[in-house]
Structure 1
């Protein structure tokens, strides 16, 4: 899984998130298989974040602030991530919708879950594999051979790193170290040599506050497809219950409009994120610079400069990456066995809801 830390957030939020999760779940209750409409006909949706609030989630905070959810007759509770993760929380009915990745959906479904990926935020790779710029001995991924990779124990991440190293001419042999409070601290302490970061958050933080990083993009070094399809997933059985498909559509109509607004008005949207997620104590400077990076580089769109999200999964790119991870042995069932076939993107994901939401946003 892509569990990547940001040093300005995690130290402050470790206890706050745990407490706020308990409070939020106690106040709103667990999600149910059937949608719950209030007396005004509003659909109630609970959404669980994958990590501490950041610009990946900005569309939700904008949609709340500007009344887009109210216009669609949806009431949304944004839940802080639980220790078990958004995927498990959705599978167990604690949340209706969760922020995740398509590859995580593949991994969880292989283990027996039944999740469906319904919205893809990122259209271009956002993950970066970085060493401190002061490490002049690391010039290409080949130089990562024999080094210590700071990770959260993800087989998916390890497969990506090994492929990059081999593509660059190395053997792919690495040591691993568990990330501590955050990856920056682990690297600067000398307990690890390189780690994973997001271009739209930690890399921006590095540019603002240091230390400087030297980074590689997996797709430049032999990893096929788009590893970083981040978005929303629901439980299949929840989706087919009466009213839930319509509730999801209305939720996505408003949320995609929120993301579109963020692309068109990055500064205003960043301010809405900071004020809307007060518990995160976000750096305003970081949030604004991150949103500027996203808008200028077109990470969420298929063309730089566009202010309209497609929200859809590129199935061909997704399948290329799923096939790669399958061959690496990443997707194992509950008994630790790799299945006879690779997970299929067309089964794991649907573009129907995002396509309709994009059409609504254009009106």
Structure 2
């Protein structure tokens, strides 16, 4: 039988103390939440509803995640995730192909909207009755590299030459159309279209996808490859809560709209009824993929519109030269994070 000397007893007690401290420190580390910084692409709006619903419901906390919402500053969200300033950003299928072509480390991890909410709009009592009437006419836009090629494509698809002219007015484009200074603009039918309906403005619209421009999963959640490697588990938990938020927005758009206003701040939404109308339209027509799920992405989607950009010579490298070979579209998106979040 071993002799219990004071030295042995002290050593045993010290070892037990070390073990207890190790367990305590480990437990504290496990309880410490992970920070996910989310960069917005604009001021808070209904495209962000699922994020704000999950914040309001405490679902990120349930997953051990602290979300820091980074306000829109005009900076490219793709660049911010590539540089590690943000972990996740709201972005667009019209932006990510350009970012990757120029070498940015950015990957889409969820499609927020499954199709584009932007449509060509003209005033009903104006001179434009069909798209080919836009030949030689003026449209107001943002000066983005794909705008003129899109206009050329849709006008030619309707039998015109594709000679519309661009004036860059950004958000002033809508007022310019209403004042009769331009003939056409592109609007978000999920926001400006609803607002015009509310005001009684008479207008007509056309979808690009009906005239030769492939549709796309318009709004995306993106991260970087580095963040995918370093924060995979945290991203899965972030996505699990975000998924719940958007599923809630589909099931109860009015309550989701209320939570968006309450959480993002009433000052951001001076017209609450517009929020509710937008939330309903997004829930009905935009959030869910053909498989009935939110967030899904497919290779056919990513080889559609981005492929059209490549075929039209719009994608350039970091020196401004057109890409000499078509990108690997499967590298532009990741499905593992959201599939793990569904489990």
TM class by shorter chain equals: 0.7 to 0.9
Which stretches in structure 1 are left out of the alignment for 5+ residues?
A: 1-36
Deviation at 1:201, TM superposition (A): 1.4
Partners of 2:135 and 2:318 lie apart in 1 by 31
Please state whether the residue corresponding to 2:220 is helix, strand or coil. Answer: strand
Q: Secondary structure at the match of 1:84?
A: coil
Contact 2:313 2:323 survives alignment (8 Å):
no
Matches within 5 A, 1:306-345: 309-345=293-329
Residue in 1 that maps onto 2:95: 104
Alignment of 1:1-363 (within 5 A): 40-135=31-126, 137-224=127-214, 226-241=215-230, 244-278=231-265, 279-296=267-284, 298-302=285-289, 309-357=293-341, 359-360=342-343
1:313 Cα deviation after fit? 1.2
The offset of 1:182, in angstroms, is: 3.2
1:228 is displaced (CA, Å) by: 4.1
How many residues end up aligned between the 2 structures? 315
The answer (yes or no) to whether the contact 2:114–2:216 under 8 Å persists in 1 is no
Partners of 2:179 and 2:30 lie apart in 1 by 56
Structure 2: distance between partners of 1:239 and 1:77: 18
**Runs of 4 or more above 4 Å deviation:** none
For 1:182 and 1:314, the matched residues in 2 are separated by: 35
Using the size of structure 2 for normalisation, the TM-score is 0.86
Cα distance 1:259–1:207, how it changes in 2: closer, same or farther (>3 A)? same
Taking structure 1 as reference, are residues 343 and 205 closer, same or farther at Cα in structure 2, changes over 3 Å only? farther
Give the whole-Å Cα distance in 2 for the aligned partners of 1:98 and 1:284.
25
Structure 1 residues 182 and 208: CA distance shift in structure 2, 3 A: same
Q: Is the 8 A contact 2:128 2:183 kept in 1?
A: no
Contact 2:217–2:301 (Cα < 8 Å) also in 1 = no
**Alpha-carbon distance, 1:255 to partner:** 0.4
In 1: Cα distance, 2:205 partner to 2:43 partner = 23
CA contact (8 A) 1:111 1:332 kept: yes
Shift in CA distance, 181/348, structure 1 to aligned 2, threshold 3 Å: closer
Alignment partners' CA distance in 1, 2:207 and 2:29: 47
Q: Compared with structure 1, are the counterparts of its residues 288 and 276 closer, same or farther at alpha carbon in structure 2 (3 Å cutoff)?
A: same
Name the stretch that deviates more: 283-292 or 339-348. 339-348
State which drifts further: 82-91 or 59-68.
Answer: 82-91
CA offset at residue 181 of structure 1? 4.2
Query: Is 1:49–1:99's contact at 8 Å kept on the other side of the alignment?
Result: yes
Please give the secondary structure, in 2, of the residue aligned with 1:50: coil
| Rounded Cα–Cα distance in structure 2 between residues aligned with 1:46 and 1:119 | 16
Q: C-alpha separation between the residues in 2 aligned to 1:227 and 1:147?
A: 27
TM-score between both structures, scaled by the size of structure 1: 0.82
Structure 2 residue aligned with 1:14: none
SS in 2 for 1:215: strand
Question: Unaligned regions of 5+ residues in structure 2, if any?
Answer: 1-27
Q: Distance in 1 between matches of 2:175 and 2:75?
A: 24
Cα distance change on mapping 1:233 and 1:207 into 2, 3 Å: same
2:269, 2:275 within 8 Å by CA — same for their partners in 1? no
Identify the residue that residue 23 of structure 2 maps to in structure 1.
Answer: none
Deviation string 1:135-179 (CA, Å, 9 cap, x unpaired) is 1x2122111121112111111222222111111111111211112
Local SS of the residue matching 1:176:
strand
The offset of 1:205, in angstroms, is: 1.3
Shift of 1:337: 0.9
Work out which of the two has the higher radius of gyration on C-alpha atoms and give 1 or 2.
Answer: 2
| Matched-pair contact (CA < 8 Å) for 1:49–1:98 | yes
